[in-house]
Amino acid sequence: MVKSNGNSIHIFSAISRPGTATGTFTINGMSGNGIVDVVNEHRTLPVTAGTFSDSFAANGAHVYKIDMSAVTCRGSPTR
């Protein structure tokens, strides 16, 4: 699920299965690089050309926040 408030994008993601997994996320319209904050986990991930990846533990969930004032986009991001 993706939510936007004009200043930032929040991405909510989870897996519901045993084992680990890697998720790759692409924000349509984001052409530049930036940083994604993994909310309440005290870590960040690089966003390169609008794409970032993260790992998930079994039945894991993450919330990501991208500050839109710090990245380059063409048009509006896709929700």
C-alpha 58/C-alpha 68 separation (Å) is: 30
Note the pTM of the prediction, 2 decimals. Answer: 0.85
Token pair, residue 20, equals 């680990």
pLDDT greater than 70 at residue 74 = no
Categorize the per-residue pLDDT at 77 as very low, low, confident or very high, splitting at 50, 70 and 90: very low
What confidence score (pLDDT) does residue 61 get? 96
